[in-house]
Amino acid sequence: MIKVFRTDVAYAREVSNIVDGLLRDYPCMRINFDLEDEDRIMRIEGAAFKVEDIIALLKKHGHRCVELPFDLEL
Q: 16-43: per-residue pLDDT in tens?
A: 999 999 999 899 999 999 999 999 999 9
Helices (H) then strands (E): counts for the chain: 2, 4
Question: How many Å apart are CA 68 and CA 40, to the nearest integer?
Answer: 12
Give residue 37's identity as a one-letter amino acid code: D
pLDDT score for 68: 94
| Strands lying side by side in the sheet with 65-72 | 30-34, 41-45, 2-7, 65-72
Residue 7, pLDDT > 90, answer yes
Q: How many domains does the chain have?
A: 1
pLDDT-based confidence at residue 74 (cuts at 50, 70, 90): low
pLDDT score for 48: 85
- Mean pLDDT score across all residues of the chain: 92
Q: Which domain holds residue 20?
A: 2-72
Q: What is the CATH number of the domain that holds 21?
A: 3.30.70.100
Least Cα distance to 19 among 38, 46, 47 occurs for: 46
